Structure 1
Amino acid sequence: MIEYAVIFGFVCLTLALALNLWRLLKGPSIGDRIVALDTMVINAIATIVLIGIAQASDTFFEAALLLAMVGFIGTVAYCKFMLRGDIIE
């Protein structure tokens, strides 16, 4: 039963990534593109977690945690760059 849930999760995440990519390319403003990129990072984290569940490996969960930290810092830095024009003051 868990195999069907993992496959359904992969299908949903593939659809979500495709829609996020569309928003990233067609976003009317830079804010929409930032949100789409951040959502793509979240979907990538979910994909890594699903791979970890499918393969029953703990290593993927650690990789997902690292990607979450890097994604958060990247989003904050990109927003700060868009607002102020520089990242480090």
Structure 2
Amino acid sequence: MTAGVIEAALAFGFAGLGLALAMNLWRLFKGPGVTDRILALDTIVINTIGLIVLAGIAGGSGTAFEAALLLAMVGFVGTAAYAKFLLRGDIIE
């Protein structure tokens, strides 16, 4: 009984995150401004982290959680670098 519920929740999660990822890709390409594109990239990273975590739950792999943590750190640094570039015009002072 609970295995079927978990599988249904995983399928719903994959579908929801896949739809969110598709909408973020649309915003990335059609965004009216640079700030919208940066926010779309940050949200794409967050959705990808969610997909990695769901894949780890579905596959029973603990390595997926470490990969999600690494992607979160890289995504944060990338978003901070983009924001700094937007504000000042250069990244390294």
| TM superposition score normalised by structure 1 | 0.97
Deviations 1:21-80, CA, capped at 9 Å, x for gaps: 111111111111100000000000000000000001110000000000000000000111
The one-letter code matched in structure 1 to 2:7 is E
How far apart in 2 are the matches of 1:35 and 1:85?
18
In angstroms, what is the RMSD of aligned CA positions?
A: 0.6
Whole-angstrom distance in 2 between the partners of 1:24 and 1:83: 20
Aligned ranges 1:47-66 → 2 under 5 Å: 47-66=51-70
Unaligned runs of 5+ in 1: none
Structure-1 separation of matches of 2:18 and 2:61: 22
Q: How many aligned residue pairs are there?
A: 89
TM-score norm. by structure 2 comes to: 0.93
Shift of 1:82: 1.5
Q: Aligned residues: percent identity?
A: 71
Moved over 3 A (4+): none
1:21 aligns to 2:43 (yes or no): no
The amino acid across from 2:36 in the alignment is D
Rounded Cα–Cα distance in structure 1 between residues aligned with 2:21 and 2:35: 18
1:11 has 2:22 as partner: no
